[in-house]
Amino acid sequence: MVFDYMDGGADDEITLRRNKDAFSQIEMHYKVLAGIKPPLDLSTKIMGFDVKLPFFGCPTAGNCMFHHEGELGAAKAAQTHGTMYSLSSLSTTGLQEIAEVYPGPKIFQLYVWKDRQIVSDILKEAKKAGFEALALTVDVSWMGNRERDPRNGFTVPPTYSVHQMVEAIRRPAWTWDFISREPYAYACFDKNVPAESMSSFINSQLTPDFSWADAEWLLGEWNGPAAIKGVIRPEDAARAIHTGFSTVWVSNHGGRQLETSPATIDVLPAIREAVGQDAEIILDGGIQRGTDIAKAIALGADAVAVGRPYLWGLAAGGEAGVAKAYQILKAELDRAMGLLGTPTVDDLKREGPGLVKKRPASARDYPDIFAHDRGYGGGVV
């Protein structure tokens, strides 16, 4: 149940696969003899804050269902690597608890809630806890059809049906982790309210009539760096910047919302063109390797957010698992940048369009190669 909640997507999971497959269609046309001396510089800015890595963990709901350390483990791992931390408003750890273990730059993610007073109150709590940036998720005004969840009987917290008990016996490590701890709750609201009761409240608060005018009101309430998360259309990205958002977060919710949405990496170049070079872009969706991070930055992203990779780490080993996942991605990104011939993140951004290209539909689309094929006796190079 918990595995499929993390692993799955909407409907036939076409977008879920498309997100990853799109990266495999992007080639790296590396330079040689670039004269680079290690170590490379992976530092950059995310939402105005200095960080040591150009990637960080997406805000994801209910981390304590994967491992009892939950959001605290993920935050401590972010602190270890000196990167941004982002907390979901549906977290199972409170704002102040995160602030106590992670003093670095933090993003608070918010859904489009119906009750403005609730929104205003939670924003004040986030500011009080030291969260410097906001991410408004705008692609969950309707819930996607995630078919694995009802098939598995997914509930928060788990029900005690025969099926669930059999599955729990088959996963003794997870089950012991779950039953030996206090029941988790949605801590950003009222952690004294059981998770199942809060679920009904949350479902009643998600609203599809949230508009651009509401977004303007929200920006006024927050009055700080803010990203709009869930954008895939260039005109929406441009409007977001005009409305006052400092950052466009290109995302299709990991393929968990509207089925057959485009892969985020495919729409990234058009969104960069629409918002210009000065606007900040964050991208998520399909990131599983450090090479994916390099490709995203080269094609126009200022930073990359990863979801499932760090959650797999969390489920496997808590804080240590997340730190290991970040270390793997860091090493892969470092290697990719070195082989490309780009010693800094700024170099990767600047030279990226010439180094990273969409794979042609056929080899005949390589005119620079085939222009010289007569020199080889007319053979195909």
C-alpha of 34 from chain center:
32
Residues in the chain: 381
Whether 133 and 282 have beta carbons less than 8 Å apart is answered as no
Q: Which residues contact 216 (CB under 8 A, 6 or more apart)?
A: 243, 244
Distance CA 347, CA 110 (A): 33
* Residue 318 identity (one-letter amino acid): G
Amino acid at 264: T
Q: How far is CA 17 from CA 216, 255, 278, in A?
A: 34, 8, 31
Catalytic residue among 67, 68, 81, 253: 253
| Separation CA 114–CA 137 (nearest Å) | 14
Q: How far apart are CA 303 and CA 54, in angstroms?
A: 5
Cβ–Cβ < 8 Å for 189, 182? no
Which element (helix H / strand E) includes 316? helix 308-340
- Report how far residue 104's alpha carbon sits from residue 358's, in angstroms, rounded to the nearest whole number: 36
Residue 279 near residue 271, CB atoms below 8 Å: no
Which token pair is 246? 């400092």
Residue 86, token pair as written in the block: 């982002």
Q: Which residue has the tokens 């991208």?
A: 283
Contact 98, 75 (CB under 8 A): yes
Q: 140, 112 in Cβ contact below 8 A?
A: yes
193: three-class secondary structure by DSSP? coil
The verdict on whether 68 is a catalytic residue reads no
Per-residue DSSP letters for 141-183? SS----THHHHHT--SS----HHHHHHHHH-HHHHHHHHTSPP
Catalytic (active-site) positions: 253
